[in-house]
Chain A
């Protein structure tokens, strides 16, 4: 579904992604784990079109999308839940969700998706009219996810959905990610919480200072001594 071949991304003089390649198949949950500053968010921003790779290709359903503007990426069916949620805190929950469906014109479909999102996150329905800045961190995470789903994406990019959330809430969020995947949405999950990420993923990549250093099925990686030592607390 998504195939990234040898992309290089720079921030000015800083070489942030060094020849990164990865592949996501239809229906999978793929996770990308790595420490702070390894380049995880950079990769997601590049896929979403917020950053342009200097070279290399990003193929989405066999079409080159590298360097395309964000708008056309969303239109093709890739949505992102950005790191730190980035909800529009000056607007209501409902307006945030409406903006998620910004490029869509099918009123009926949008209405159905409102129902779906509210079903997935009942808390959001209760707080429909509330300013999203007044929501708790967990609720904002739910809103950011709901907002991305409103675009009816085929590939959902999630950037550290567990960040700053209480352990119980992290569990809920991960359960919902699995639910979203089961309804047919392919998922690329970026996480520092490698334990949780590997527990729901089919396959995983490990990124270190801009390079992919390990790849495999989630089961393989959670068995690997090296990965356990570096990312899983190493017991």
Chain B
């Protein structure tokens, strides 16, 4: 039963990676940029959630919501200030800028509030563990999974059923053709950053709850792992990011369960190397050819 327990942990952790990976993949899909500042938006989300809970004295779900809204605005600001002026520049210029933005957010946060970590308050939500076929599943795991699941379903709905979602898919497929439909490309890109960043903000709050410790550099490793998850699923593909995140979480949990927990962080990058060698388009990626 130990293995099932680990599997449940892996899926919970993986769903956090998946939430972050979605932002990477959506932004890549639309502007072909690996937004390396995305992990830091996740960190900012964790802090906004923390301050909402401790200073404003509100519960988990309101804090989650505040964090998501604030991160959405933050994401749009990053895009408008740092990336938009480089829309027609080389991709490497935008990539380097993303790394700069990442460092700026990390050390800006340290400058504003110091580098000391904070402890997320526990017992925000009355959590009861449940037992299923002899496996004890913690209330926290259920909360994480449930929240992530709801957000992912909501995202699928937005992307497939709403007008802005269709515009996002159109712009990501062919920007000029989208313009010819009358789609406002700039607004659509902003919306993509807003949604991706909101998901990262949510992931930050959930992560804070799960690991209890948050600090200004906490976004780096989860950010990189979520990037691996996005590549694993096929960068630019939304279901790929979800699957990639969960698969990566499970792999990590299994490695820990096998007694190699020190190797946990390394394994994600082994996965990245393997996927780049054997299936660079990712699990869900395929080479699409255009008909002429």
**Which A residues fall within an 8 A CB radius of B?**
48-50, 70-71, 74-75, 79-80, 82, 84, 86-91, 95, 98-100, 102-103, 133, 135-137, 140, 147-148, 151, 163-164
Quick check: B291 and A102 within 8 Å, CB to CB?
Answer: no
How many residues on B have C-beta within 8 angstroms of the other chain's C-beta atoms? 20
Assess whether B87 is interfacial by the CB under 8 Å rule: no
Kindly list chain B residues whose C-beta atoms are within 8 Å of the C-beta of A49. Answer: 179
Majority SS at the chain B contact face: helix
In B134-186, the 8 Å CB interface with A consists of 163, 166-167, 169-170, 173-174, 176-184
Most chain A beta-carbon neighbours within 10 Å: one of B176, B180, B291, B292: B180
Assuming A71-B184, A151-B181, is B292 touching A102 (CB within 8 A)? no
CB distance from B234 to the nearest CB of A (A): 13
Would you give the 0/1 interface string for B270-292, flagging 1 where the beta carbon is closer than 8 Å to chain A?
00000000000000000010111
CB distance from B238 to the nearest CB of A (A): 11
Quick check: A102 and B177 within 8 Å, CB to CB?
Answer: no
The count of A-to-B residue pairs whose CB atoms sit within 8 angstroms is: 72
CB distance from B44 to the nearest CB of A (A): 32
Assuming A133-B288, A136-B291, is B180 touching A82 (CB within 8 A)? yes
Quick check: A89 and B290 within 8 Å, CB to CB?
Answer: yes
Most chain B beta-carbon neighbours within 10 Å: one of A50, A87, A102, A147: A102
Interchain Cβ contacts under 8 Å between A and B, 24 examples: A48-B180, A49-B179, A50-B176, A50-B179, A70-B179, A71-B182, A74-B181, A75-B182, A82-B180, A86-B177, A86-B180, A87-B177, A88-B177, A91-B169, A91-B173, A99-B167, A99-B183, A102-B167, A102-B181, A102-B182, A103-B181, A140-B291, A148-B180, A151-B181
Closest to A140 in B: B291
Quick check: A89 and B170 within 8 Å, CB to CB?
Answer: no
Closest to B177 in A: A86
A99 to B163, CA, bound (A): 8
Assuming A74-B181, A102-B183, A103-B182, is B176 touching A91 (CB within 8 A)? no
